[in-house]
Amino acid sequence: MNKNFIPAQAIIREIIRENEQIATFRLELTNKRLPFTFLPGQFLMLSVPHCGEAAISISSSPDRLPLVDLSIRRAGELTTAIHGMKKGDQVGIRGPFGKAFPIEDFANRDLLFVAGGIGLAPLKSVIDHCLFQSGLEEDAVQSITLLYGSRTPSDIAFKQAIESWQKQGVDCRLTVDEKDSTWNGHVGLVTELLTDVTITGNTKALVCGPPIMIRFVIASLADLGCGDESIFTTLERHMKCGMGICGHCHLDGRLICLDGPVFNVSQLKKLDVMEFAR
């Protein structure tokens, strides 16, 4: 698919309601002859007629192409509009854009994913891809651990995916800030789950969620001995054009849409990013 300003049309093949605020839209290009592929960590520019355009992380694995998933939290005009759409409706997409997670560096590694809320979406693409590769490659990842925090039990998203991952051997540990009568699991911040996780020189950590969560998770990982070049996160702030033209995502001499959105902590420490200051 051309990475220009003209969106390609995509049809909504399926809608998965993750919780009251988040839904996953499974899309397929209407023109099946358009070349399209992506890597985990990249994003698409999604447009809805009369509602504008927004950058959305891809939440599915490239192994599922020609289908591609966008998990979207209802938060504004565009996202409210797509939440009101139904199977068979069409949207516009451009991309993929941005640098991906360094999947090649994850071979034979122990992967630790730490996510909060909708932050699990871009990491889901990595988890699904690694699980797919584990059945094909000799240098697949050694282990996958997921620490996932939500505000309440009803806010937990991606339940189908989490159940599938558990069946495939992923160590999934969930926590909520506020429990209800249905919850028998951990209550507290996702950083508290790190106390029971073993960090070694073989660990690679991928973190995504609210900025304040990312800040404290990275600090905790550093205290546990995880090196700056072994911790990755994704910044999706203020991206508008996705192509490095408008400069809206400019950050300390870098453009998030071109130089990111995936960065390791070593790279972030060279930028003026307040949430990563200690």
The annotated binding site for [2Fe-2S] cluster is made up of 241, 246, 249, 257
Reading the block at residue 233, the tokens are 């996160």
Q: Which amino acid is at 82?
A: I
144, 151 contact by CB (below 8 A): no
Residues in the chain: 278
Rounded to whole angstroms, how far apart are CA atoms 176 and 188?
A: 6
Rounded to whole angstroms, how far apart are CA atoms 168 and 65?
A: 21
Pick from 58, 41, 65: nearest CA to 132: 65
Q: Are strands 110-116 and 90-97 parallel, antiparallel or unpaired?
A: unpaired
Give the strand order in the sheet containing 43-48: 52-57, 43-48, 90-97, 8-17, 22-29, 68-73
Rounded to whole angstroms, how far apart are CA atoms 72 and 82?
A: 9
Maximum CA pair distance of the chain?
51
Q: Is 94 helix (H, G, I), strand (E, B) or coil?
A: strand
Residues that constitute the known binding site: 241, 246, 249, 257
Pick from 138, 143, 186: nearest CA to 168: 143
